Structure 1
Amino acid sequence: MAPVIDDLSKRSDLSSSSSSAEGAPERPRPEGDEGITVLVVDDERSNVESLEKIFHRENMRVLVAYDAKHALEQIRSRRVHVVLTDLMMPGTTGLELLRAIKQVQPEVEVVLMTAYGSVEAAVSAMREGAYDFVEKPLKRMTIVKSVRKAAERGRLLEENRSLKDEIKLLTKRELIGSAPAFRHVIEVASQAAPSTATVLVLGESGTGKELLARYIHERSGRAKGPFVAVNCAAIPETILESELFGHERGAFTGAVAKKDGRFAKATAGTLFLDEIGELSPQVQVKLLRVLQEGEYEPLGGNTVRADVRIVAATNRDLLAEVQAGRFREDLYYRLNVIAVTAPPLRARREDIPLLVDHFVGLYAKKNGKARLGVARAALDRMMDYAWPGNVRELENVIERAVVLSRGDTLAEGDLPQALAMAESAAPRPLEFPVGTPLEEIELRVIKETLKHTKGDKSLAAQLLGISTRTIYRKLDGVDTEG
């Protein structure tokens, strides 16, 4: 009943000039207050006064109102845990007040009381969101118990909401960084997100490929749909086909019931296929059909339309896999419509302080510790490290350091010994004699960059600000090991 709130202020029977309609003044709380504030609403003063005395004896804070209009004013301006209201009041009924309260302050619990109890009225009240429905004449212990339980329910719901918010905050993964190589990836992902194109996310393990996939999903037209992630390498080959496409009852030995696959679960959303290079030839064929025809067949079932967007990821060189005959060429080109390469941490070292700060704050809060500072020596050590495990390794190192740290500053001694003993990952400066031909300088820079990126030409092109085709052209016929 949407217009109830406005109607409450317009009805003439709620704008009486009687001082009783203004609500009684708030009385001081006795010592030992339990933190419960109850608002009593009834047009009969004797009932209000009796209930007020009862709740004061129970060390509760009591507010009163003699009509719905002033009850709403109290709710808007004060912190109220429970409203105890009469059902039958002149003008606006208790049920209408209940509806208005749930629109203004949904978290407030409402207990209705009436001398005209009926099953129909109780059911209606519960459907509208009332916590309880009690009949007059009221019994002191009954009404106190009902109000206490309503307040406890409200407290538990509030704690539950707070806990969910905190869990969401602690588990929320963010893309953090400002390095040029990282910004380029985000720009490409942002442009690709609103489209319907299939995206292939490349990069080493631990670089955040799934985070990039989620970033694309959350900025796509399918953001309200599910994001379903599948690690193709973690599921045994013998059941991967069933996991992806589902099966009908009796499709194979042990299939005692119909089961939806990940494609069905991702309907209207995004399906993230991690480690796509691990797919068997049989599953590759079925995936190719999905990408070409937009349909698939569950094991033992009929053709189903696939309403999903696919984002795939791999740390393998898929083109090399194609050349080796382990990955279908036609599937590779279907997947590689838009390619995004997540840069390794060594290629975005300037982002390490940002990531350290983020993970220190995250794990300090998760472990109930005060926010830690980071010593300069510790940060320098992390800046110099090669991070073969990339951002995932950095996160694990910070979590360990935060847990084991005994002071208010994360020191160099809190870092793993292996990190302290590792060689510096800082790239060596290149020097050229005056008069070195520009072509030779370009070639040397390209080769050194490829060493830094472990042969990843796509990443090297991003770092140098040139196209991958340019790298291939410059290296054509050149020994890249020299």
Structure 2
Amino acid sequence: MGKILILDDNVKLAKFYAKVLEENDYEVKMSHESDTFLDEFQQFKPQVVLLDILLPNSKLDGIGVLKKILKKKNTICEAIMLSGAAKREQVAQAMKMGAFSFIEKTGEFSIDKFLNEVHQAFLLYQQELNNYKLQQEKENLRQELIQSKPFVGECDAIKRLRDKIEKYAKTDVDILIVGETGTGKEIVAHNLFWNSKQFGRPFIKRNAGEFTDTLVNSELFGHKKGAFTGAFEDHKGCFELADGGVLFLDEISNLNLDTQAKILRAIENREIRILGGRIKKVDVRLFFASNKDLKALVRQKKFRKDLFYRLDGNVIKLPPLKERGNDIVLLMRYFFEKLLEKYNDRIIDVDFRIAQRSLENYEWPGNVRELEKFCEYLFVMYDKITNEVIANEVNSKKRGGGIANEIADFEQFLALENFNSALEEFERIYLKCQLERNDNNITNLSKNIGLDRSTVYKKIRKYNLKKL
């Protein structure tokens, strides 16, 4: 049933306890002084220990042994204290330290009561073990998630950023994350959450730019059935879904002034009004993000001053890629390593010190996201990536041409709602890529993509593709 280790200087009594426990299928070992007990504890790894409080012939008494056990890292063990002459203060001290229970050795001994105490101690042990395993699993998951979206970089600005994330994560304050498009605001929000005490609870992400003016309040605060035309059932808003956890609202500047006022009230009062329903208390930590200058929007009366100053106290500002120095090549290395997991047949023949000079000749207005798409483009278009390839493609971006720019705007391509339009746009970009890759050699292009020359010529004319 389980392992029990007994510490009692009364050999006869210790043997009696052991016999009773062994008859009930417990595995039992005994020690009669503290040093041998602690050695045995290390080897035997019991789930429950019976500790005599008074051990006059030992180096440590039972309370001293209990202290030693409790100091051991990653050790779960329940302690039942024994004594026939211990003072009340000693018993109280042991219980305060974390002992499970106390059994009086004098008077009439009840085997049933004794076995019940042991059984209850094992139940508590199992509960604490399960909790420990869950905490370990949670911590392992936290580390895996952090590794999945690391904030790559070693420049001073990124070091300060990591320090801020670590400090803010330990608090409950709401956070404003600002930075240009593509600088990594969402990654910051994830890392804040993964390192916070809210981790394991809801993490709701929404882009405020996706809310329509007619439905924004419903999306944020929820509605009851019949609250407005088309409200056929109850709907939980973002604040309710995030209750107990974190709500991350990206592009906060896109919200209208009326909704901003409601969010301010939600922040200050920790409550929301459900459309067509009641006021409800919510416990939500808020992360906001914006790529706009909110202070300028306040001057233009497009953003509420009171909300701005409510958020302005705890700000994480991300630097643009062009200000991050050597980080650009560290990021390229990281993206290459990730892409090699998918494109494992690609050959990388790059001196990254030389590549850095090429990369720094471009402004990277789309920041880290643009660099990531650029790296993906290289892996899609080239079997072998060299410094010459990187330099040529960067120069193409500088001239405002090349396919890399079209790949970098992939999000806009996906925004096409009509399927046929999206298909045609893909076909156009694909053919343009292949023309560039095959140096405008239609024969090679046709052979490589599996289309006859006449079909290729028709599509070139259809999309007005000229030789590159």
The TM-score normalised by the length of structure 1 is: 0.51
Alignment map for 1:117-136 (pairs within 5 Å): none
Over 3 Å counting, the alpha-carbon distance change for 1:410 and 1:262 in structure 2 is: farther
Q: Could you list the per-position Cα deviations for residues 347-389 of structure 1 after superposition, in whole angstroms to 9, with x for gaps in the alignment?
A: 1021011111110011111334467353444443113321110
**CA distance in structure 2 between the aligned counterparts of 1:370 and 1:307, rounded to whole angstroms:** 49
Matched, 1:268 2:244: yes
User: What residue is the counterpart of 1:78 in the other structure?
Assistant: none
1:372 is paired with a residue whose SS is: strand
**CA distance in structure 2 between the aligned counterparts of 1:366 and 1:406, rounded to whole angstroms:** 13
Percent identity, aligned pairs only, is: 35
User: What residue is the counterpart of 2:339 in the other structure?
Assistant: 363
Match of 2:364 among 357, 362, 387: 387
Aligned residues: 272
Over 3 Å counting, the alpha-carbon distance change for 1:289 and 1:421 in structure 2 is: closer
**CA distance in structure 2 between the aligned counterparts of 1:241 and 1:419, rounded to whole angstroms:** 47
User: What residue is the counterpart of 1:470 in the other structure?
Assistant: none
Contact 1:275 1:314 in 2 (8 A): yes
Over 3 Å counting, the alpha-carbon distance change for 1:325 and 1:374 in structure 2 is: same
Alignment map for 1:188-199 (pairs within 5 Å): 188-199=164-175
Contact 2:335 2:375 in 1 (8 A): yes
User: What residue is the counterpart of 2:454 in the other structure?
Assistant: none
User: What residue is the counterpart of 2:267 in the other structure?
Assistant: 291
User: What residue is the counterpart of 2:92 in the other structure?
Assistant: none
1:340 is paired with a residue whose SS is: strand
2:199 is paired with a residue whose SS is: coil
User: What residue is the counterpart of 2:154 in the other structure?
Assistant: 178
CA-based RMSD: 3.4
1:238 is paired with a residue whose SS is: coil
**CA distance in structure 2 between the aligned counterparts of 1:310 and 1:370, rounded to whole angstroms:** 43
Over 3 Å counting, the alpha-carbon distance change for 1:191 and 1:265 in structure 2 is: same
Contact 1:170 1:362 in 2 (8 A): no
User: What residue is the counterpart of 1:47 in the other structure?
Assistant: none
Matched, 1:405 2:405: no
Matched, 1:301 2:277: yes
Q: Which amino acid aligns with 2:317?
A: T
Q: Which amino acid aligns with 2:191?
A: Y
Contact 1:198 1:335 in 2 (8 A): yes
User: What residue is the counterpart of 1:323 in the other structure?
Assistant: 299
User: What residue is the counterpart of 1:241 in the other structure?
Assistant: 217
2:278 is paired with a residue whose SS is: coil
Q: Which amino acid aligns with 2:309?
A: Y
C-alpha deviation, 1:337, in angstroms? 2.4
Over 3 Å counting, the alpha-carbon distance change for 1:308 and 1:415 in structure 2 is: farther
Q: Which amino acid aligns with 1:301?
A: G
1:349 is paired with a residue whose SS is: coil
**CA distance in structure 1 between the aligned counterparts of 2:278 and 2:145, rounded to whole angstroms:** 42
**CA distance in structure 1 between the aligned counterparts of 2:284 and 2:347, rounded to whole angstroms:** 42
2:360 is paired with a residue whose SS is: helix
Q: Could you list the per-position Cα deviations for residues 30-55 of structure 1 after superposition, in whole angstroms to 9, with x for gaps in the alignment?
A: xxxxxxxxxxxxxxxxxxxxxxxxxx
Over 3 Å counting, the alpha-carbon distance change for 1:417 and 1:179 in structure 2 is: same
Match of 2:163 among 187, 192, 196: 187
Q: Which amino acid aligns with 2:170?
A: P
C-alpha deviation, 1:257, in angstroms? 0.8
Contact 1:364 1:372 in 2 (8 A): no
1:384 is paired with a residue whose SS is: coil
User: What residue is the counterpart of 1:209 in the other structure?
Assistant: 185
C-alpha deviation, 1:403, in angstroms? 2.2
User: What residue is the counterpart of 1:477 in the other structure?
Assistant: none
Q: Which aligned segments of 4 or more residues in structure 1 are displaced greater than 6 angstroms?
A: 10-13, 168-171
C-alpha deviation, 1:232, in angstroms? 0.4
Alignment map for 1:30-49 (pairs within 5 Å): none
Over 3 Å counting, the alpha-carbon distance change for 1:404 and 1:268 in structure 2 is: same
**CA distance in structure 2 between the aligned counterparts of 1:169 and 1:306, rounded to whole angstroms:** 27
Matched, 1:252 2:228: yes
Alignment map for 1:454-473 (pairs within 5 Å): none
User: What residue is the counterpart of 2:328 in the other structure?
Assistant: 352
Unpaired segments ≥5 residues, structure 1:
14-102, 104-164, 424-482
User: What residue is the counterpart of 1:107 in the other structure?
Assistant: none
C-alpha deviation, 1:336, in angstroms? 1.7
**CA distance in structure 2 between the aligned counterparts of 1:170 and 1:216, rounded to whole angstroms:** 10
**CA distance in structure 1 between the aligned counterparts of 2:158 and 2:317, rounded to whole angstroms:** 9
**CA distance in structure 2 between the aligned counterparts of 1:391 and 1:416, rounded to whole angstroms:** 20
Contact 2:145 2:194 in 1 (8 A): no
User: What residue is the counterpart of 1:37 in the other structure?
Assistant: none
Over 3 Å counting, the alpha-carbon distance change for 1:202 and 1:210 in structure 2 is: same
Contact 1:203 1:209 in 2 (8 A): yes
Contact 1:360 1:398 in 2 (8 A): yes
C-alpha deviation, 1:11, in angstroms? 10
Unpaired segments ≥5 residues, structure 2:
6-21, 26-125, 127-140, 400-468
C-alpha deviation, 1:199, in angstroms? 1.0
Matched, 1:332 2:308: yes
Over 3 Å counting, the alpha-carbon distance change for 1:303 and 1:392 in structure 2 is: same
1:413 is paired with a residue whose SS is: helix
**CA distance in structure 1 between the aligned counterparts of 2:248 and 2:397, rounded to whole angstroms:** 38
C-alpha deviation, 1:313, in angstroms? 0.8
Over 3 Å counting, the alpha-carbon distance change for 1:334 and 1:169 in structure 2 is: closer
1:210 is paired with a residue whose SS is: helix
1:216 is paired with a residue whose SS is: helix
1:286 is paired with a residue whose SS is: helix
Contact 1:381 1:420 in 2 (8 A): no
**CA distance in structure 1 between the aligned counterparts of 2:349 and 2:277, rounded to whole angstroms:** 58
**CA distance in structure 1 between the aligned counterparts of 2:308 and 2:219, rounded to whole angstroms:** 21
**CA distance in structure 1 between the aligned counterparts of 2:190 and 2:147, rounded to whole angstroms:** 14
